[in-house]
Structure 1
Amino acid sequence: MTARGGRARRADATANREALLNAAQTLLAADPHASLDAIAHAAGLSRRALYGHFADRESLLREVISVGAERFNRIAELTDDPDPRVALARMAARLWREASAVRASANIALDDAHVAQTVQALAPLRRRVRELVADGVASGAFRRDMPEGLLTFLVERTGRATLRELRPSSDGAGTVVRVVLSIVGVPWSEQAALLDAHPEVLAAE
């Protein structure tokens, strides 16, 4: 085999894998139980070709989670503000929009069967949430009537529960932001003033 032939085969393999992941994102966003046959067909490939990239359905789901987690973690790492209330609100809004864009990853992440893997994949995001909670508590912006660890846990669980119940909508980001800020102890009246002062938090990006 020539070097050019080898490069062509690798390029085809990369393109096929990308097509399978894109098809999985599209189908699993609508139906978390979409079959491998349906995903392969949507990618324009055979089931046999799919098995050339993924040993089984679980390995495909793990890759979909990984792709989504990379995007979620990047948002968390790049979101910051001197005011921990604004930083947390901005992160919540951005994560909501991203979850809407890669709904398949969000659907799988919310599935109890994949909690352990999701927790591991989202370690950078979870670390950033802990940092923001600690900053908010230290500054007095967040409630101090419970341990930081418990407050972080409540933010994570509430965000997950809210994602499970909500569907993509024009006001979804606003709902998530208000729920998360309420959990950390920011009064609703203060939330309104905060969001009025920072309209970019809920502005579509």
Structure 2
Amino acid sequence: MQNESSGPRRDTRDRILDAAVEVLGASPDAGMGEVASAAGVVRRTVYGYFPSRSDLVLALARRAVDEIEAVLAEEAPADKAADVAWADFVARLWPLVHRYRVMVVLRRGEFGENIHVLLGQVERALADLVRRGQDAGVFGHHLPAGILSQTAWSAVFTIADDAPSRDVDAAAVTVATLLLLGVPQSRATALAARSGS
């Protein structure tokens, strides 16, 4: 028996989620029919995997959180300097930001509370990273760690909203967020270059 974690069933589910990211990213109010069309399946197939639009949106949010947490775990281990970890995290995340930007848009709507809970895991991990940087003296103390991390994290999506990732490179975004965290410009520029952004 085919299990859902592999094979054609999993491929179809992933194709629907990939299509949903694009469709809902372009039009947050798009319906299941538009997602089905973009995924190359019929509506009934989408509903077979996601019984409601809410289920689809929450699956997108869970997937985004899992991906972001995986990148953060790889790029920000406890033994890496916090400013280096932040730079590496943003540089690695930026090329994929369009996949997560839809969560920020949908978070403002009817699914906001549930998405907020899911993204809260990422936000707590980023606040811990910023606190670690403040304790080490590489990030500023001009705001509490939770607010400061949220400000820098939100800037990534604000930049993505105003300038698609093809128009602004990862180095510029990395430098901008490090400056918000209180890193001196020369250090921020060097970290962005080092991260290969």
Residue 107 (structure 1) aligned with residue 102 (structure 2): yes
1:193 equivalent among 178, 190, 194:
190
1:65 equivalent among 58, 61, 67:
61
Native 8 Å contact 2:175 2:189 kept in 1: no
TM-score, scaled to structure 1: 0.77
Native 8 Å contact 2:156 2:173 kept in 1: yes
How far the C-alpha of 1:9 sits from its partner, in A, is 10
Q: Which moved more, 1:111-120 or 1:57-66?
A: 111-120
Rounded to whole Å, the distance in 2 between the matches of 1:56 and 1:129 is: 31
* Matched residue, 2:19: 23
How far the C-alpha of 1:12 sits from its partner, in A, is 5.8
* Matched residue, 1:166: 163
- Larger Rg: 1 or 2? 1
Native 8 Å contact 2:91 2:192 kept in 1: no
Which amino acid in structure 2 is aligned with residue 125 of structure 1? V
Native 8 Å contact 1:96 1:173 kept in 2: yes
How far the C-alpha of 1:25 sits from its partner, in A, is 2.9
Rounded to whole Å, the distance in 1 between the matches of 2:66 and 2:54 is: 18
Which amino acid in structure 2 is aligned with residue 61 of structure 1? V
Structure 1: which 5+ runs fail to align? 1-6
Native 8 Å contact 1:155 1:180 kept in 2: yes
Identity %: 24
* Matched residue, 1:46: 42
The count of residues paired between Structure 1 and Structure 2 equals 191
Distance verdict in 2 for CA 1:120–1:172, change over 3 Å: farther
Tell me the alpha carbon deviations over residues 43-102 of structure 1, each in whole angstroms, 9 at most, x when there is no partner.
Answer: 3332233222222222212112221221111111111263211111111121222224x2
Native 8 Å contact 2:84 2:191 kept in 1: yes
Q: Provide the alpha-carbon RMSD of the alignment.
A: 2.7
Distance verdict in 2 for CA 1:155–1:192, change over 3 Å: closer
Distance verdict in 2 for CA 1:138–1:99, change over 3 Å: same
Structure 2: which 5+ runs fail to align? none
